[in-house]
Amino acid sequence: MPKDHKRINGPEETVPYNLFTKLNTKTLLTKFEEAVCNGKRTDLRVPEEHRKIFLKSGIVSQAKGSAYIELGKTKVIVSVFDPREIPNRTDYSLKGEIYCEFKFAPFSCVKRRQHQQDTEEKQYSAIMKQALESTVCRHEFPNFQVDIYALVLHNDGSVLSAAITAAGVALSHAGVPMYDAITSVTLGIQDGIRLLDPNCEEQTLCEIPISSKQESSHGVIIVSMLDTHEQISQFYQYGCISVEDLSASVDVLKQACKNIVPVVQKCLVKHVLRTLNEDVED
Amino acid sequence: MSLCEAEKTFVLHGVEENFRVDGREREDYRPMELETDIVSHAFGSARLRLANTDVLVAVKIEVDAPFPERPYEGKLDFFVDCSANATPDFEGRGGEELAVQISNALSSAYRSPNVFDLRKLCILKGKKCWKLYVDILLLECGGNLFDAVSLAVKAALWNTQVPLVKQVDIDGNNINLDVSDSLSDCQRMDVEKAPIMVTVCKIGERCVVDPNAAEEKCSVGSVVVAVAGRKISTVLQTGTGSLHPVTLLECLTLGVKIAQRLDTALWDTLRQIKPNQDVGFLK
Amino acid sequence: MPQKIYIRLASHRVNTSVAVNQRHPKIFTPGEVITTQNEFMRGHGTYEENGELKSSVAGVREQVNNLISVRPLKSRYNGEVGDVVVGRITEVQQKRWKVETNSRLDSVLPLSAVNLPGGELRRRSAEDEHMMRQFLQEGDLISAEVQSVHSDGSLSLHTRSLKYGKLAQGVLVKVFPSLIRRSKTHFHNLPIGASVILGNNGFIWICPTINNTDESVGGFIQNLEQVVPKQERETIARIRNCILALMQSKMLLYDTSILYAYEESLKYSVPELLVPEAMVDTAVLTQQRLCMIENE
């Protein structure tokens, strides 16, 4: 990690204190059983239930478009800036470009994050770009670049999905032409149980296999969909999942993405009405 | 390199008819060439040539302290270098985006313990473990990089010899490792379930595997599936297009089928390798 | 029918060199003295030092009357006036197009050197300049002839004949320029049902048979709707694989050699021709047939 000379750094060999607490000595199996007991999760949701979403646009006044999303305790802000000329580009191109930057705030996760983008954040930026590229009408701004910045204030699972949904709202708020509203959902699988929209604890539990059975799957799937066109614009999965489990999960995810669309639409309509009312009052 | 509309139409119609530009069917691969153990300084190495794509992988091992929250596991680190040898576009930082994409794909694919068990790399719980640095060098780019890289990485890991630790002395805070001196005294890694990536490209209405550079330009969207055993270890969507859910599942099933075929072919070849058969770049 | 996936070991690599009956010519390396007599003119690949003519590249010596040049195996294409080339448009500029022809510098195709669609002969107006992109875009393939060579080595092309123009559906194969033999015509309508354009710059274009009666508009209109039938597709793919086999064994490419290679390759199916053994086999058999013809 490149050393940050502008801030006062802590000593190099630091570890979070949680490693030494009693909670850390529980086995994975116990933790999982506590997470999902009697068909209910820790926050009393059924396994295939999404958390309540709070979406607001127009949060950042300096940006052309912006949105703030809360998914349970996960909080993400996304801002979009005007199309500007692509620096260092001389060849002719019929399509515009999208530049995405995804960043965790240093205090957002359990373990303090570095101030510079690490590989995980770079990977998430690439996935976000993949998702938004098929949504935006790129032929409307050839040779220009739209900048999208996502900042996570609190990470409680499903961060990438929250960022993508909020980015869709921010792009509409900025007036960038789009083909469809984009919604994104995360799903965690562990030993035959599907946890829709997992929180941070559940997401880490799904990354490691718990059962030693040959056929059990575990992993995390993140999908972004364009609902009216029924197209998947981005699909990312990690873990170890069998094909049958994967196809069943895709169906669940499709339905979940569809269910979020009214929330996104309501937010956008509210914003338009608000702007209209302000004009009327002026 | 860009293609004109007429060439793209020709490729598209060929894919529809199941007869591609070079006569292959949609599910055929081009002939490949593999050799292992070519870099003498590395603990394991492999080189794979798939038509115009040339990939060299070397594995180096060092002793390191494990992560505090995962005291039983070793570490695995991927680094991809797009050499300027491949194309002048890769000069300086030109190839960085591609390199990051490939190394992220590999890290995602090898993440699950079912696929590659990092616990076998532990020497002393919480204090010492082996760290594997897998360095991948792209010597030539002729399309279908993910497949070539994943096959070469699997062969290199198969070829890797981890030194055997005979004794561990703990003296207060000092830990002395006694590593066996002889070269043949080593443990090989279990790469039975190491993932193989298959790129499935959507051209027109059909799915195609092993696209060459021209076919890659004609495709709208493609899916990279990493398959380990019969399960899917990672899925990445690349390219700028979107896919219908049904098409996506078709691509995934096709990818799993092809990956199993690739895996059998790779193991057949690896079993044929006898020691001291150096060929390298000289022949 | 799923084909087998071939992963071979490098130690089993096939030797692609084909035996040649002729005497090996003398090969010059950079810095080697070719001759000390001064009555010769210097050509490409040579330089003069202290009254001696030395080679600057690694290659074979060629002599035409008084002109000595050294020709390397693999080099960029050096254009001569009258050569037929196949090129790809890289840029659309003010009154000309930049064409990539595998030479050191991009070649130039001026607007005044193309046939306007409709075949009219008129002055190029300002409107034509704006419509340039409609005629030829970035990425389009054209066949053209070299009109002149500038002092820096860049070529000026023209398509002022009905047989040149934008290329329609087909396959492009890139080989070394030195493997293309110079002949009277570079447009061949092979009797097996495909046409081949052997560009001197190493770009070979294979397409379904061109009917000479159709093309009366200067070759700028393309029919993208037409689907090439499977039979012709197979022929084109086979020719492509044969050309790659001949290139790997470094054999000269001209219509006869391609035809013989095609006939020798008929015993393999088209995808099997990608396997190195099949490629070498085809090349060796073609070489034998060519030698027999020469000896007669």
* Percentage, residues of chain C above pLDDT 90: 16
- Which tens digits make up the pLDDT trace of C253-263? 888 899 999 99
Query: Tens of pLDDT along A19-29?
Result: 777 766 677 77
| Closest A-chain CA to C92 | A92
- pLDDT, one tens digit per residue, over C190-214 is 888 888 999 999 999 998 887 654 5
Given the structure tokens 């097996």, which residue do they identify? C192
The reply to whether B20 falls in a domain is yes
The enclosing domain of B260 has a CATH number of 3.30.230.70
Looking at beta carbons, which residues of chain A come within 8 Å of C91? Answer: 92
**pLDDT of res. B240:** 80
* Stretch (H or E) spanning C134: helix C132-135
Contact assessment for residue B223 and residue A235, using Cβ atoms and an 8 Å cutoff: yes
Residue C186, pLDDT above cutoff 70? yes
Q: Which of B174-183, C12-21, C45-54 has the lowest mean pLDDT?
A: C12-21
Q: Do A247 and B69 touch (CB under 8 A)?
A: no
ipTM: 0.86
Find out whether B213 and B201 touch, Cβ atoms under 8 Å.
Answer: no
Residue C248's pLDDT is: 87
Residue B279 located in a structural domain: no
DSSP letter at A198? -
Span B18-42, pLDDT tens digits = 888 888 888 888 888 888 888 888 8
pLDDT on residue A208: 82
**So what's the pLDDT on residue C240?**
92
pLDDT for position B127: 84
Q: What is the mean pLDDT of residues B145-164?
A: 90
Q: Which portions of chain A are predicted below pLDDT 70? A: 1-4, 10, 23-25, 89-92, 282
Q: Which candidate from B231, B235, B241 shows the least CB-CB separation from A217?
A: B231
Is the pLDDT reported for residue C218 higher than 50? no
Q: What is the pLDDT of residue B198?
A: 93
Tokens of B208: 């195609």
C-beta separation of C47 from C40 below 8 A: no
Which residues of chain A have a CB within 8 Å of the CB of B235?
235-237, 246
CB contact under 8 A, B113 and A15: no
Alpha carbon of A117 to those of A67, A124, C34, C245: distances in Å?
A: 22, 10, 60, 48
Give residues 28 to 47 of C whose Cβ lies within 8 Å of B: none
Q: Are A238 and B244 in contact (CB < 8 Å)?
A: no
| DSSP code string of C239-291 | HHHHHHHHHHTT--B-HHHHHHHHHHGGGS-GGGGGSHHHHHHHHHHHHHHHH
* Cβ atoms B155, B37 nearer than 8 A: no
Containing domain of residue B28, as a range?
Answer: 5-272
B38 and B155 Cβ atoms separated by less than 8 Å = no
Q: How confident is the model at residue C86 (pLDDT cuts 50, 70, 90)?
A: very high
Residue C203: CB atoms within 10 Å: 24
Contact call for residues A78 and A149 (beta carbons, < 8 A):
yes
The pLDDT of residue A24: 66
Quickly state the pLDDT bin for B159 (edges 50, 70, 90): confident
Residues A158 and A75: their CA atoms lie apart, in Å, by 10
How many independent structural domains does chain B possess?
1
Tens-place pLDDT, residues B227-248: 988 889 999 988 888 888 898 8
> How big, in percent rounded to 5, are the helix, strand and coil portions of chain C?
25, 30, 45
pLDDT at C216: 40
Q: What is the mean pLDDT of chain B?
A: 85
Please give the residue that has the higher pLDDT: either B281 or B190. Answer: B190
Rounded CA separation B274/C20 (Å): 34
State residue C45's pLDDT score.
83
User: Is B100 close to A126, i.e. CB distance below 8 A?
Assistant: yes
Task: Please tell me the pTM assigned to this model.
Answer: 0.87
pLDDT tens digit sequence for C108-122? 998 888 877 665 666
Residue C38 has a pLDDT of 77
- The pLDDT tens digits for C40-60 are 888 888 888 888 888 888 888
Confidence of residue C217 (pLDDT cuts 50, 70, 90): very low
* CATH 3.30.230.70 assigned to A48-84+97-281: yes
Cβ-defined contact of B10 to C170 (cutoff 8 Å) = yes
Contact at CB, B19 and C230, closer than 8 angstroms: yes
Chain C residues 65-94 with a CB less than 8 Å from chain A: 91-92
pLDDT at B208 over 70: yes
More confident residue, A13 or B261: B261
pLDDT at C162 over 60: yes
pLDDT value at position C221? 54
User: Beta strand pairing status for B32-36 and C7-9?
Assistant: parallel
Instruction: Give the residue extent of every domain in chain A.
Output: 48-84+97-281
Residue for token pair 């570079």: C186
Between C69 and C88, whose confidence is greater? C88
* Distance in angstroms (rounded) separating the CA atoms of residues C42 and A239: 67
Interface test with B, best of C9, C97, C142 (most B CBs within 10 A): C9
Contact between residue C278 and residue C270 where contact means Cβ atoms under 8 Å apart: no
Q: What does the radius of gyration of chain B's CA atoms come to, in whole angstroms?
A: 20
CA–CA distance, A1 with A12 (Å, rounded to integer): 11
Tell me how many residue pairs between chain B and chain C have CB atoms under 8 A apart.
120
**Predicted pLDDT at C223:** 65
Q: So what's the architecture of C25-72 in CATH?
A: Beta Barrel (2.40)
Examine the pLDDT at B157 and tell me if it is beyond 60: yes
What is the predicted pLDDT for the residue at B280?
61
| Contact yes or no for A232 and B245 at CB 8 A | yes
Handedness of CA B205, B207, B212, B216 (dihedral sign): positive
Test C224 with B6 for CB contact under 8 angstroms.
Answer: yes
At B121-142, the pLDDT tens digits run 888 888 888 899 999 999 888 7
Q: Rounded distance, CA B137 to CA B121, Å?
A: 24
Return the number of other C-beta atoms located less than 10 Å from residue A10's C-beta: 8
Task: Tell me C232's DSSP state.
Answer: H
Q: Of A134, A232, A247, which is closest to B240 when you measure between CB atoms?
A: A134
Domain boundaries, chain C: 25-72
Q: Is C266 on the interface with B (CB under 8 A)?
A: no
* Burial of C20 from C-beta contacts in 10 A (0-12 / 13-18 / 19+): exposed
Residue C127 tokens, joined? 């409107």
Task: Report CA C283 to chain centroid distance, whole Å.
Answer: 19
In this structure, of A268-272, C124-128, C273-277, the range with the lowest mean pLDDT score is: C124-128
> If you measure CA to CA, which chain C residue comes closest to B26?
C2
For residue B214, which phi and psi values (nearest 5 degrees)? -65, -40
How far apart, in Å, are the Cα atoms of C237 and each of A43, C47, C171, C172?
A: 62, 43, 8, 11
Q: DSSP 3-state assignment of A18?
A: helix
B278 within a domain of the structure (yes/no): no
The answer as to whether B170 is a domain residue is yes
Residue C219 has pLDDT above 80, yes or no: no
Identify which has the larger pLDDT, C19 or C45.
Answer: C45
The DSSP 8-state label assigned to residue A22 in this structure reads: G
Share of chain B above pLDDT 90, in %: 21
- In the β-sheet with B231-238, what is the strand arrangement from edge to edge? A193-196, A182-190, A218-226, A231-242, B231-238, B221-228, B196-203, B206-209
Per DSSP, helices labelled H in chain B are 5-16, 96-109, 145-159, 213-218, 245-272
